[in-house]
Homo-oligomer: A and B are copies of this chain.
Amino acid sequence: MSTHVKHLPADERRAVTVEAVVELAGSQNPSEITTAAIAKHMNLTQGALFRHFPTKDAIWQAVMEWVAERLLARIDCAAQGIESPLAAMQAIFMSHIEFVAEHPGVPRMMFGELQRAEQTAPKRIVQTLIQRYGERLHRLIEEGKACGELSAALDTEAAATLFIGTIQGLVMQSLLAGNVEHIRHDAPRVFAIYQRGIGSAQ
């Protein structure tokens, strides 16, 4: 039927708003997304947004909470039940890439928030997200070194930094090409080099 829904419950409206922002960030600079643009994208008047969010920054906060929740859930799910630390890292990598391919705006929003000079709520959420992500990587890398899968001489911190960088490099490449689909194709090839860099055997 799809009755022309206009009145949505507050929590649903907030969810729709977050989705709208994530979608818009996929095709433009996040810091240039206006409340008018958000409202238009979800067929709502601009003022109505402020029935559900006190400020624009509160919208960004909700968006980054959405990102943090989903991304961590994804990578945790991907790694679950995998014995080998290296295989778990690969699974995390691929699920992260899949997430980015589905939502190309995500890395842009995260980078944008980190760039902010002031310490805002959404920025803090991103910092916490990456910190938690790093903890998981550290744990896996140490496990990998312990079980002999990874080089015993490996610099754990550097390896975690490069893991994130590997993804950032792919994002950069997709921005250059103007094509997000390629990222799925390139990801395994780039990870192969990373794996060789951290692995114990040639």
What residues make up the interface of A, taking CB atoms closer than 8 Å to B? Answer: 27-32, 108, 111-112, 114-117, 127, 130, 151, 154-155, 157-159, 161-170, 172-173, 175-176, 186, 189-190, 192-198, 201-202
Contacts and interface: CB of A to CB of B under 8 A. Distances in A.
A29 B164 contact: no
B164 A169 contact: yes
Given A114-B175, A115-B175, A172-B111, A192 B158 contact: yes
Copy count, this protein chain: 2
Contact of A186 (B151, B161, B186, B195): B161
Contacts of A176: 114, 127, 130
11 contacts: A157-B186, A158-B186, A158-B189, A158-B192, A161-B173, A162-B166, A164-B173, A165-B165, A165-B169, A196-B197, A197-B197
Contacts of A32: 31
A193 B130 contact: no
A136 to B, nearest CB: 16
Given A111-B111, A197-B193, A165 B170 contact: yes
Contact of A115 (B28, B170, B197): B28
Contact of A165 (B154, B166, B192): B166
